[in-house]
Amino acid sequence: MEIKLTLNGRAVTASVQADTLLLDFLRSQGCLSVKRGCETANCGLCTVLLDEKPVLSCSVLAARADGHAVHTLEGLQEEAADFAAFIAGQGAEQCGFCNPGFVMNTVALLRENPDPTDDEIRAYLAGNLCRCSGYEGQLRGIRAYLEHKRQG
Amino acid sequence: MEGKTYQSVGQPVRKKDAMALLLGKPAYVDDVTPRDCLVVKVLRSPHAHALIEEIDTTAAMKVPGVAAIFTYRDVPQKRFTMAGQTYPEPSPYDRLILDQRVRFVGDAAAIVAGETEQAVDRALKLIRVRYQVLEAVLDPHEALDSPILVHPEDSWRSLCPVGADNRRNLCASETCSDGDVDQVLAGCPCVVDRVYHTKACNQAMMETFRTYTEMDPYGRLHVVSSTQIVFHVRRILANALDIPKSKIHVEKPRIGGGFGAKQTVVAEVYPALVTWKTGRPAKMIYSREESQIAASPRHEMEVHVRLGATQDGVIRALDVYTLSNTGAYGEHGPTTVGLSGHKSIPLYTGNLEAFRFAYDVVYTNRQSAGAYRGYGATQGIFAVESAVNELADRLGMDPVALREKNMVREGQIMPAYYNEPASACALDKCMERCKELFGWEEKFPVRDMGNGKVRAAGVAMAMQGSGISGVDVGSATIKLSDEGFYNLSIGAADMGTGCDTILAQIAAECLECSVDNIAVFGADSDASPYDSGSYASSTTYVTGKAVEQACAQLKEQICAVAAQMLDCPAGELEFAGDRVRRLDGGGEVALAEIAAKSMCGNPIAVQATSSHTSPVSPPPFMVGMAQVEVDKETGSVEVLDYAAVVDCGTPINPNLARVQTEGGIVQGIGMALFEDVTYNEKGRLLENSFLQYKIPTRLDMGHLKVEFAPSYEPSGPFGAKSIGEIVINTPSPAIAQAVFRATGVWHRELPITPEKVLMGMKDRG
Amino acid sequence: MLTIQNYVRAGSLEEAYALCQKKNNVVLGGMLWLKMQRNRVDTAIDLSGLGLDQIEETDSEYRLGAMVTLRQLELHPGLDRLTQGAMAESVRHIVGVQFRNLATVGGSVFGRFGFSDVLTLLLALEARVVLYRGGEQSLADFAAAPRQRDILTHVIIPKGERRVVYLSQRNTATDFPVLTCALSRREGRTLCAVGARPGRAEPFEDGQGLLAGGITPEGAQAFAREAAGRFRFGSNLRGSAQYRQEICQVLVRRGLLAMEGE
């Protein structure tokens, strides 16, 4: 079947199968930041924005994205680089494999709540697993970014 | 030297690949290899132990898009091990790529390669296998000398004298001792005699196992794999395929986490066989389920500790017996077990008069174990540290004071650690600082918070090694390039640890330049200098030293080129970072000019390679303290605070040392409280997904405080020891003690789940 | 692995209903659980084009479209007031924000999953469901009945003053619950629902009037004991029947006392 969607601001028309998952579709479109870490919707590595909301692309049919807007990290490089630099400042990227999903969800968090508390950050990002367990460093990084923003 | 300040070493330098990884740039196996290659999957045994009587692939081969199906009839009949270890491997040669005998639920029964995943999935369903189901040995207690043999085959081979006997289901066994432990124990008024059980936890790195293979234009097998050990992969694949080592080229891109899992050749053999047989590019991506059930988790160990002490808390004797379960195959079986004693007993060298350490490693029809951060030390330290905590309770002593009385001190010879000296040991300082950092005096007394909640604390110490003494080889090649930048080639593997950056910091320090001036490359079995690989906490300590040595050689070469340019003997010159100058002040030449000269009419190589091996493996030391809140009505345990102070020698990059420590602690918390491994009576592993195998989220870890108490290890680069593994070792015993303090019940089996906590209290009454 | 032959975004409920009469056709919710099954689906029926993603408020009730996500429930101010935060509490432990942006109330209720936090709370709120063909019925009846080939279009939560508390026991912060417990109290009448036993949530009422005169520690204890004795518990990886029975008493009692405490 044919789908039409906006991918990172660009109109895309593509042919997919009924059971093609958005995750696989996006990778086939060259959005290689989107990762798969499990088969049970538990890890958050595949997080993308669907109509501005963070979702697990492993659990969305590509067909369901027909007529909608999808953003991956490829399309949000500058917005992400703003705060990602502070995470790099902590060394908290570690192996990096969970980073795109975690960064995408942080984009969503900061759009929804530009000045979150530590507990709000932890709660919002709870669905992003990191086995290097860089959680504390990631938090320090986001905190440093917020502090930096506050001080202009 | 000690106390010296450095330009690059000791600085929190940003990792070279940090922003690329954070911004999701293509970096991992599946990102950087072609999509249009054969998809490879494995048909897995539903039985814990069976013989394949018949396997019919006719229908499966007819599925459009299926390119090849291989069964046990199609593979070389020479046994090998998948363990990534230095040859001759201590792990027995007990594997075939596919065997007629399947030995655990999930063992490989056939390999299918096809144009699409759908075709392969369809074919997998159409392969008809008739199994002769055999009785399985699932319980490690029943394995030794069981009538059921996991490896009855004559072709089973053990290359090293590790006390193995496949006719007894024995993968390794040994006893070693110092002094008469039975006699000393008999003279001790206080003996703690307990058994502690650690399960086969999974590394659960976010990137599952994955490998891409293709034939290169020279007719060699080119392997791109997510591995910690490119050189061992080359040997193991050549053994498995029974082809010359020269026919294989292995490289690794970025690795999405390893923690030891990728020190075993878990996935590589399958696409390698497909490509070697069909000539076509192939890729295998392990599913999360496969990574849980058919990979290389921690060795389940039951550790029996007998600890003898005086009434005033002098620990005089330690007797440790470990029963280790290696599962269906022996990967890392003979080696992990050794650490359960050799890296727990020496912590108490202080007053120890005698020790004995014995072990058996048995085969069972369970998933084969492998290497996981801590590598046996974790299991042994849970046991010995728990026993020491039980002793403290029995004597009514503060467990910190008990440790201060008995811990190993700098300069002591550690008989249980192969008689190596504690040449750099700040364990006492770790304890002292951790007490303050954590607030031990306030937190150790149990506090009732009302509504059934109680707060309590626990403590544990840990050690590990820094590389494998006399075995590990680390190498580095450094060369001067245009405009005076450097290329550093290594065979060690950055799996997220940041070793590419750490080694560049060491090079930058030696060469008096910025870290940005060092371009790092690795690891590639054709292009990198030989390195055993990144495991056994070796890279900073062993490879780091090789970098230091290579840089010293390179500086001499640079001076030799400069000598020609300045027309004087090299001995009259001094390397000064961005230039070389005459000691007498009579002239200098810029590094960029030397670089240019080296590429024009120059016969002197400005490229140096150095290999390093260490006769010792200096242990890092650590103290961890946990505060938990136990809900005595539901059994829930919440970690509130965790403080740790680590002596890793000189932290080369404090940021990276810190995140290693924090990450290891959180993994350790997962192991202590959540990560369970359950087999049903048929031998099927039930925690086969992230739905069931619960690793900690950021809501499950409490607040961490990490500091360093540096020592200076004279044999390490700039005084460094290791840090990668030790950091997982303290949470289990510290948390178990805190739970005891809160509930009055010792938990000697991990994980300590809410149900165990509540039911433990009820049983106690 | 899940395979799907056709995907249809239904243009009307009538079309969706007609399609779902076939055995191998499935109505999609958030697709989170469906995806994990190794089913062969002929036609996946998507209701996302039918405007069922709204939370509507009338004088007497909230009407939740079947495609309303758990995240919408979590953030809705009216539901928050109505349940004194219990609505958010019931969903905030479910995996993560990205998951809750997909999981739907219709999927949760129609699936009648044993582990469902949402089903537990909705039972205690005396919710009703609307089926395209079957009409309106109580959630309790719907949850207890076998699956029908009908389309759940709405879940209705009645308004009105009531005290609500939601509690769950979990082995990790975002794991499936070991036990879920929702309590509501309205005009002296106490209703309790307990799920993840691990069977699906079921309601329990204060038939003996143990709390008729108000919630006292003794009354709460008696009610909790009564409830724990009435439900059937089973064992799975997350906990044994015995453990569940133990903590059922604790959660019910704590929930009741929390009501009184505020």
> In terms of DSSP H, where are the helices of B591-730?
591-598, 654-673
Q: Do B662 and A133 touch (CB under 8 A)?
A: yes
Which residue of A58, A132, A140, A142 is the best one to mutate when testing the B interface, meaning the one whose CB has the most B CBs within 10 A? Answer: A132
Nearest to A97 among B257, B653, B664 (CB): B257
Query: What is the identity of the amino acid at B61?
Result: M
Measured distance CA(B701)–CA(B696) in Å, rounded? 7
Q: Pick the residue from chain A with its C-alpha nearest to C43.
A: A18
Task: Kindly report the length of chain A.
Answer: 152
Chains B & C: contacts with CB separation below 8 Å: 50
Tokens 């929702």 correspond to C182
Q: Do C173 and B686 touch (CB under 8 A)?
A: no
Query: What is the identity of the amino acid at A126?
Result: A
Q: Do B762 and C246 touch (CB under 8 A)?
A: yes
> Is there a contact between B185 and B177 (Cβ–Cβ < 8 Å)?
no
Number of domains in chain C: 3
Q: Do B659 and A127 touch (CB under 8 A)?
A: no
Q: How far is C62 from chain B (nearest CA, A)?
A: 32
Distances (CA, A) of C40 to B122, B197, B660: 12, 42, 44
Question: Is the CB of C175 inside 8 Å of chain A's CB atoms?
Answer: no
> In terms of DSSP H, where are the helices of C12-116?
13-19, 70-75, 77-83, 86-91, 97-100, 105-111
What's the pLDDT at C261? 65
pLDDT tens per residue across all 262 residues of chain C: 789 999 999 999 999 999 999 999 999 999 998 888 888 999 999 999 999 999 999 999 999 999 999 999 999 999 999 999 999 999 999 999 999 999 999 999 999 999 999 999 999 999 999 999 999 999 999 999 998 899 999 999 999 999 999 999 999 999 999 999 999 999 889 999 999 999 999 999 988 889 988 999 999 999 999 999 999 999 999 999 999 999 999 999 999 999 976 5
> Is there a contact between B694 and B714 (Cβ–Cβ < 8 Å)?
no
CATH topology of domain A2-74: Ubiquitin-like (UB roll) (3.10.20)
Determine how β-strand B210-215 pairs with β-strand B413-414. unpaired
Partners of residue B703 on adjacent β-strands: B641
Question: Is the CB of B674 inside 8 Å of chain C's CB atoms?
Answer: yes
What is the tens place of the pLDDT at every residue in B681-707? 999 999 999 999 999 999 999 999 999
With contact defined as 3+ CB pairs under 8 Å, the chains touching B are: A, C
In this structure, are C72 and C142 located in the same domain?
yes
Question: Is the CB of C96 inside 8 Å of chain A's CB atoms?
Answer: yes
What's the pLDDT at B455? 98
Residue C76 contacts by C-beta under 8 Å, 6 or more apart in sequence?
A: C55, C87
What's the pLDDT at B624? 99
Nearest to A18 among C7, C32, C173 (CB): C7
Given C127, C158, C189, the domain boundary residue is C158
Partners of residue B573 on adjacent β-strands: B582
Q: How far is C132 from chain B (nearest CA, A)?
A: 33
Query: What is the identity of the amino acid at A20?
Result: T
Question: Is the CB of C240 inside 8 Å of chain B's CB atoms?
Answer: yes
**Could you tell me the CATH number of the domain that includes residue C65?**
3.30.465.10
Query: What is the identity of the amino acid at B139?
Result: D
Measured distance CA(B106)–CA(B333) in Å, rounded? 19
Q: Which of residues 51-80 of C touch A (CB under 8 A)?
A: 71
Q: Do B22 and A33 touch (CB under 8 A)?
A: no
Q: Do A126 and C31 touch (CB under 8 A)?
A: no
Contacts of C250 in chain B (CB under 8 A): 452, 633-634
Nearest to A126 among C4, C44, C173 (CB): C173
Nearest to A37 among B203, B254, B288 (CB): B288
**Could you tell me the CATH number of the domain that includes residue C175?**
3.30.390.50
In this predicted structure, the answer to whether residue B3 has a pLDDT above a threshold of 70 is no
Determine how β-strand C202-205 pairs with β-strand C189-195. antiparallel
Helix (H/G/I), strand (E/B), else coil: A81 = helix
Given C158, C177, C205, the domain boundary residue is C158
Question: Is the CB of B132 inside 8 Å of chain C's CB atoms?
Answer: no
> Is there a contact between B480 and B594 (Cβ–Cβ < 8 Å)?
yes
Measured distance CA(B418)–CA(B342) in Å, rounded? 8
Helix (H/G/I), strand (E/B), else coil: A12 = strand
In this predicted structure, the answer to whether residue B1 has a pLDDT above a threshold of 50 is no
Q: Pick the residue from chain C with its C-alpha nearest to B636.
A: C171
* Band of residue B2 on the pLDDT scale cut at 50, 70, 90: low
What's the pLDDT at B682? 97
Q: How far is B519 from chain A (nearest CA, A)?
A: 19
State the Rg of chain B over Cα: 27
User: Is the bond leading into B696 cis (omega within 30 degrees of zero)?
Assistant: no
Q: How far is B625 from chain A (nearest CA, A)?
A: 17
What is the tens place of the pLDDT at every residue in A92-143? 999 999 999 999 999 999 999 999 999 999 999 999 999 999 999 999 999 9
Measured distance CA(C81)–CA(A111) in Å, rounded? 25
In this structure, are C237 and C174 located in the same domain?
yes
**What number of other Cβ atoms are within 10 A of residue C140's Cβ?**
19
Q: Do A132 and B659 touch (CB under 8 A)?
A: yes
Query: What is the identity of the amino acid at A114?
Result: P
Q: For residue B619, what is the DSSP state?
A: P
What string of DSSP letters covers B367-433?
------TTTTHHHHHHHHHHHHHHHHHHHT--HHHHHHHH---TT-EEGGGTTEE--S--HHHHHHH
Question: Is the CB of B678 inside 8 Å of chain C's CB atoms?
Answer: yes
Measured distance CA(C131)–CA(C85) in Å, rounded? 28
Give the relative orientation of helices B399-406 and B377-395 as an angle to the nearest 10 degrees: 110
Q: What strands lie across the sheet with B579-582, from one edge to the other?
A: B573-575, B579-582, B588-590
Question: Is the CB of C24 inside 8 Å of chain A's CB atoms?
Answer: no
Measured distance CA(C27)–CA(C111) in Å, rounded? 11
Task: Give how far the C-alpha of residue B387 lies from the chain's centroid of Cα atoms, to the nearest Å.
Answer: 25
What's the pLDDT at C9? 97
> Is there a contact between B493 and B523 (Cβ–Cβ < 8 Å)?
yes
> Is there a contact between B306 and B354 (Cβ–Cβ < 8 Å)?
no
In this structure, are C174 and C213 located in the same domain?
yes
Q: How far is B232 from chain A (nearest CA, A)?
A: 22
Query: What is the identity of the amino acid at B315?
Result: I
Q: Pick the residue from chain B with its C-alpha nearest to C235.
A: B755
Partners of residue B43 on adjacent β-strands: B110
Measured distance CA(C85)–CA(B688) in Å, rounded? 35
Distances (CA, A) of C148 to C7, C26, C50: 21, 12, 21
Measured distance CA(C168)–CA(C182) in Å, rounded? 8
Question: Is the CB of A52 inside 8 Å of chain B's CB atoms?
Answer: no
Q: Which of residues 62-121 of A touch B (CB under 8 A)?
A: 72-74, 77, 80-81, 84-85, 87-100, 103
Q: How far is A100 from chain B (nearest CA, A)?
A: 5
Given C158, C182, C198, the domain boundary residue is C158
**Strand (E) or helix (H) holding B59:** helix B58-61
Q: How far is C176 from chain A (nearest CA, A)?
A: 11
> Is there a contact between B299 and B324 (Cβ–Cβ < 8 Å)?
yes
Q: Pick the residue from chain A with its C-alpha nearest to C98.
A: A55
**Strand (E) or helix (H) holding B546:** helix B544-566
Q: Do B697 and C173 touch (CB under 8 A)?
A: yes
Q: How far is B599 from chain A (nearest CA, A)?
A: 36
What's the pLDDT at B84? 98
Mean pLDDT of A82-101: 98
Q: Do B21 and A33 touch (CB under 8 A)?
A: no
In this structure, are C35 and C71 located in the same domain?
no
What is the tens place of the pLDDT at every residue in B262-313? 999 999 999 999 999 999 999 999 999 999 999 999 999 999 999 999 999 9
Question: Is the CB of C18 inside 8 Å of chain B's CB atoms?
Answer: no
Q: Do C172 and B678 touch (CB under 8 A)?
A: no
What is the tens place of the pLDDT at every residue in B309-346? 999 999 999 999 999 999 999 999 999 999 999 999 99
User: Any idea where the domains of chain A sit in the sequence?
Assistant: 2-74, 76-150
Task: Give how far the C-alpha of residue B706 lies from the chain's centroid of Cα atoms, to the nearest Å.
Answer: 21
Domains of chain B in start order, with CATH, are: 18-26+468-612 (3.30.365.10), 33-136+203-293 (3.90.1170.50)
With contact defined as 3+ CB pairs under 8 Å, the chains touching C are: A, B
Q: Pick the residue from chain A with its C-alpha nearest to B657.
A: A91
> Is there a contact between C195 and C177 (Cβ–Cβ < 8 Å)?
yes
Q: Which domain holds residue C65?
A: 55-158
CATH topology of domain A76-150: DNA polymerase; domain 1 (1.10.150)
